Amino acid sequence: MSESRATGLSWLFVALALGSAVVLFLGGGAAALPGDHDEAHELRHAGNIIPLSELMGRPELVGQRVLEAELEREDGHVIYELELLDDAGRVHERYYDAVTGQPLRGSGED
């Protein structure tokens, strides 16, 4: 093995080791996702927010494909942030109050 290749592999090993240490130390970003999912599940089952499936029944959303759905807290409100693909292939980002299902800001195309 050439010296430059060995040096490159050494730096790769160091980078992977440091990256792993950061993930272990901070708890990892992926580890936080189940907590978010659990919170959304609890809110929905407690009746505090409407199910996403119910929201998707709104006339303006019927026939659109969900690319991404996030449940967020903004200014004390729980909000669904949806990234949608319509039949024409356009992507839209829409926001809905997760408690009432009413549309909020940002209903334009991206």
Phi and psi dihedrals of 84, rounded to 5? -120, 150
Q: Is the predicted pLDDT of residue 84 greater than 80, yes or no?
A: yes
Helix, strand, coil content of the chain in percent (nearest 5): 40, 25, 35
**89 against 37, higher pLDDT:** 89
Q: Is the predicted pLDDT of residue 86 greater than 80, yes or no?
A: yes
What is the distance between the alpha carbons of residues 39 and 51, in angstroms, rounded to a whole number? 13
Q: What pLDDT does residue 7 have?
A: 55
